[in-house]
A and B are shown apart, each in its own frame.
Chain A
Amino acid sequence: MTMPEAQPLHAQPSNADPTATDFPALRVANLAKSYDLPTSLLSRISNRGEKATLRALDGVELQLNRGEILALVGESGSGKSTLAKILVGSTTATAGEIQYHGAPMPARRGKDDSRRIQMVFQDPYSSLNPRLTVGAMLRELLLLHAIVAAKQVRQESKRLLNLVGLEEDALDAYPSQFSGGQRQRIAIARALAVRPDILIADEPVSALDVSVQATVLDLFASLRRDLGLSILFVAHNLAVVQHLSDRVAVMYLGRIVEVAETAELFRNPRHPYTRALIDSIPRMSAGSVTEAFQLEGEPPSPFDVPSGCRFNPRCPYAVDACRTTDPVLEAVAPAHLSACIRATELTELAVARV
């Protein structure tokens, strides 16, 4: 399933060195995103003139390697969706930089830059224009970016559909005629139309039925395998993550708190939050809900970031130093990063398998 040679697989930014293979596909450093919320006169008076600042992302370091599937995991308030939007160019960061194959990526993307990184959205029902047939939608993209000559548009559209497991007769149909799973596949075909080399998938299977999820997950795996795509997969279902991804990055309240290879992360988590997440997963084999680790309280609000380590109010292993030190994401084992000052001592975090 290789792409025909009509266009290069990805158009490089002019200052990137195409022969450099040691640059990651995407690298993010010190990324921050804050929203200053306009407040009403009344609340400004009651808050003594302080404006509410939402720190959605607060110093994110992340790297997506070529040809890998990296999962981004987190709960509400973690900032994972914001990060995805910034990476794809939908929003701009308030600080920090993004590097694409070693070269800085501009915040506002032009037409050509937009081809490099594409997105698949969560809701299959709002991600396709209800008034355009599938064929019209693909045609517009193919012609706008001159991917193929006008005569070959139909053929290329057919090829894209086949790539995602759909037939040519889908071209003349409207999105409303398809099921959720099919729509997601159409959305993936759309993303692939401009020949990106990075795909950002924002919870692409969360809205789908279980039996259909598997087809879309398999599709992502085969796209990675056959097209060499690098995929950033935002998800909250850890079973899905474990199945599909090579590496996992865990986010909490605007920061990355742990990154490791999938098997390693789920076997030897080195951050208390990760361990808590793992313990929350409903299991097929075990008996009742496990006792081991239950978090108290709610996922916190990005309005009100705790001082020191962000997780310290809920962390059962917190010590005094945790309230004053803001931990740095650093290596605690080969290819395993954790933002916890006690990471190396907390051996009891390792998960006992049933």
Chain B
Amino acid sequence: MMSPAEVLNARLQQRRALRSRSIKPWYRNGALVAGIVIVGSLVLIAVLAPLLAPYDPIAQELRNTLASPSAEHWLGTDKFGRDILSRLIWGAQVDLRVGFLAVLIPFVFGSVLGAIAGYFGGWLDTILMRIVDVFFAFPFYVMVIVLVFIFGSGEASIYLAIAAVSWVSYAKIVRGEVLVAKKQDYVTAARLGGMSHGRILVKHIGPNVLSQAIIYGMSDIVMDIMAIVTLGYLGLGIAPPTAEWGSMINDGQEFITTQWQQATIPGLMVVVASLGLSFLGDGLSDLMSPERRK
């Protein structure tokens, strides 16, 4: 075939070719880094709440209600004399946790169903898709509010309500991705290699389709935080006196002209969290898509 010199040359080139096609490292991905920094900081704040918060978030100081920001209370106090800053910090725990968990359940449930429907097709797929269509017919908030009303307020019912409604998006996304992936030659090759359907779904198709669901999940966390905040604002969310950004906005809105920071700052936190999660989603999308996909 080739002379030894040519073979050597070819091997040298192969090494060079491998290196030059290396993938852009994650730390060069601007959105990803920004997302990690922001979300990471918020998570840190939430985790370190007991150490960071100067006061107990539910401790009332009835002789010092509606105080303006001062050296003792950096953001002032609310109408029950509770320190706003401490409530903000502790609130991060609640909102982030609920946002994340509220996405995890539908993500798992919806993705699995969608993957099975997409892969096996047939009547399984048809039935699932009709169910999904029914769910999509109802507006998100209407359903969630009705369900929370039925289940009663509290963290568990929020999870249930949101999960019951939002799993369909994951099912649809993952099903679509699986439909495309299963036509790829590498899936056929895996079948020809004697692999079982289960193995193919989990090991081969899975990693290739979940990226879209994960990216959607990021924006879903944002949406769920908004939902919790809204529910909190409507009085249907986490029961008081637990600190939570939504209920803080609700509490603070009557004093918007005098103590504007009580409502605005929690609102800003929601915005920052959403921004961070969006960046994270963008960055992950970059990381998982074209370069890796090819």
Contact = CB atoms under 8 A, between A and B. Distances in A.
Is chain B in direct contact with chain A in the complex (CB below 8 A)? yes
B293 A130 contact: yes
Interface string B1-44: 10000000011001101100111000000000000000000000
B21 A177 contact: yes
A176 B193 contact: no
Contact of B192 (A119, A167, A182): A119
Given A131-B207, A218-B1, A126 B192 contact: no
A330 to B, nearest CB: 34
A175 B1 CA distance: 25
Interface stretch (B77-85, B118-126, B180-188): B180-188
Contacts of A165: 10
Interface string A282-319: 00000000000000000000000000000000000000
Contacts of A263: none
B21 A141 contact: no
A126 B184 contact: yes
B194 A166 contact: no
Nearest to A129: B186
B292 A90 contact: no
A48 interface: no
A89 B192 contact: yes
Given A110-B194, A140-B195, A177-B22, 17 more contacts: A89-B192, A90-B188, A114-B193, A118-B192, A118-B193, A119-B188, A121-B189, A126-B186, A127-B184, A129-B190, A130-B292, A130-B293, A131-B208, A167-B11, A167-B15, A176-B21, A182-B14
B193 A179 contact: no
A267 B14 CA distance: 41
B63 interface: no
Interface string B79-117: 000000000000000000000000000000000000000
Contacts of B197: none
Given A129-B208, A167-B14, A218-B1, A176 B188 contact: no
Interface string B173-213: 00000000000111011111111000000011001100000
Contacts of A337: none
Interface residues of B, number: 29
Contacts of A123: 185
Contacts of B193: 114, 118, 141, 144, 190, 194
A125 B294 contact: yes
B207 A119 contact: no
A145 B196 CA distance: 12
Q: For chain A, give the interface size range.
A: 35 or more
The SS class assigned to the A binding surface is loop
Which of B10, B18, B204 has the most chain A CB atoms inside 10 A of its CB? B18
Nearest to A121: B185
Contacts of B207: 131
A184 B294 CA distance: 14
The 10 closest A-B pairs by CB, nearest first: A111-B194, A127-B185, A114-B194, A177-B21, A121-B185, A131-B207, A129-B186, A126-B184, A126-B185, A176-B294
B192 A114 contact: yes
A144 B194 contact: yes
A109 B196 CA distance: 11
B291 interface: yes
A176 B292 contact: yes
Given A129-B204, A170-B18, A194-B193, A121 B291 contact: no
Interface in A102-141: 109-112, 114-115, 118-119, 121-123, 125-132, 140-141
A173 interface: yes
A89 B189 CA distance: 11
Nearest to A179: B17
Given A112-B194, A129-B186, A129-B204, A176 B14 contact: no
Contacts of B188: 90, 119, 121
